[in-house]
Structure 1
Amino acid sequence: MYEFVVRGKQGCYVNITLDEVFGYPNATSHFGGYDVRGTAEIKSGNYYVKGELWFSTGEKYEFYNQLARCYTDLMGIATFCNSEANLKLDIKFNNRGQVVIEGYFKEFAHQDNELKFELESNQSFFVETLDGLREIVNHYGGLKGIHQE
């Protein structure tokens, strides 16, 4: 099972696991890579949520590339929003190594019941995040799966 975690200060985090990957290695998703049924787990202050999440490894590939660029440049925004729009993460880097993670999670995209969160973080927390994403990308490939462009 693959996963990656985005950590914030004071024990806050967003953890995404890949529980089941469909079509690997031959049938890719129209969202890029392979379709995934996973789990999102979020702890922000006293709030905690855990729920099912559908996304693609291609969406993770694009997020990894954005995040790696922001980490290297110490500036910019990396965004992950899954195709069902029930999870969104905006990771904003500034040039002093400070990072703000904002987002929301909806158990069901069609219902207006959501957890909005903001986590403070810094550049040092993202080595673990990038390592987890790199493992996923190395195993499942890019937008065309393991059959790269």
Structure 2
Amino acid sequence: MKLWLQIAVALSLSVGGVLGAMAIFHRGPDNAPEDKFRFVSGNPMLTDGMALLVQRTTIQLSGIEMNSSPDALAASKAYLAQVGAVNCYESADGWSCSAIEGRNNLAEVLVLSGLARTTSSASKQLIEAEEFARTNGKGIWRIAR
């Protein structure tokens, strides 16, 4: 197990299984520059700038662009309120966040629901999720069918 994960698990266990209200940062993979890889955990909120805010860290999820329509914003905020705490990792490719409970990738869920669309930097998995949403008329793709 990577050292940063061991530290996060140990910290989590030391506060009764809940990371609580503090942000946790780590170095990332061995030999990685400290400023290039970070980890933060907490309850996400959607900012006015269409990014997530987790423990005072602004996070733009890699590979997606949020839909700014009022209905999509309301649905995205409702989903984020329901999902609970998330773990977010920054890597050379950008930020990725997953729900602690259920481990769902937030970007993938938002794209599958038609609440976000992929960008040119999207992974194959996100592109396939967008194709599913488009084919099934989810969210923003409901009218475009």
Instruction: Give the alignment's TM-score, normalised by structure 1.
Output: 0.24
Q: Which has the higher contact order (CA 8 A, sep 6+)?
A: 1
Higher strand share: 1
The structure whose residues are more often helix, as a share, is: 2
Instruction: Report the TM-score when normalising by structure 2.
Output: 0.24
